[in-house]
Amino acid sequence: MRKHIVCLGDSNTHGYCADPADCADHGIRFNEDERWTCRLQKLLGDGYLVIEEGLSGRTTVFPDPLHESMPALDVAYPILKSHEPVDLLIIMLGTNDTKERLNMNAACIARGMERLIEKCKTVPCWGDHAPNILVIAPPHIGIEMENSDVMPAMGLGCAEKSRHLAAAYAPMARIQGCAFLDAEGIAEFNKVDYMHLTNKGHAQLAEKLAEIVPTLV
């Protein structure tokens, strides 16, 4: 059986494209030749199965009053059980947790990530090995987001909070025994909404993970 790599994330794992001109199909989602998960599959080869579990708007543990089923905590069990045995879980979340309406600071978001990790560890999906998790701090939301079309939905303060996520995630991941990657400076965000990966950003993230994943499984 191939190594199962489950990628749990939000719109940047689902492949949302904010700039149709940047997407080969000129739609709202990067295609299978463009998304970082699919690119990672190609780079890793046939010995791995990279599984996409991305949902636009997903948070770590915080319910969204406007949309149902957003917390990853609520779906961690069925997601992980449906893909067992899981050899590596990659979690890239936190961008949506910064929304003004959720009223969470970086420390609380990191605690939410920790709670999610603790839940994932309890799911009996890991085969004959210990839970194996890589936490990715997403790139920083650009302050320019506050002048973009997504500002009314995101609210104020998101960029500032996102800049502190990596510093809050890193020690938590270490304590939890998880691998950690700060994607700031690795994968670029677009200049439309300043919070979604470009086509190039998807390629950059896939290339970095293709270096890291074989060292973890």
Which residues make beta-bridge pairs with 181? 136
Positions of the chain with pLDDT lower than 70, given as ranges: none
Helix 165-175 × helix 106-122 angle, to 10°: 30
The rounded mean pLDDT for the chain is 97
Q: What is the CATH number of the domain that holds 84?
A: 3.40.50.1110
**Torsion sign across C-alpha atoms 94, 184, 83, 179:** negative
- Residue 87: give the domain boundaries: 3-216
pTM of the model: 0.97
Predicted pLDDT of residue 85: 98
**Torsion sign across C-alpha atoms 164, 170, 136, 116:** negative
Domain count across the chain: 1
**Torsion sign across C-alpha atoms 43, 46, 48, 52:** positive
Give residue-wise pLDDT tens across range 130-172: 999 999 999 999 999 999 999 999 999 999 999 999 999 999 9
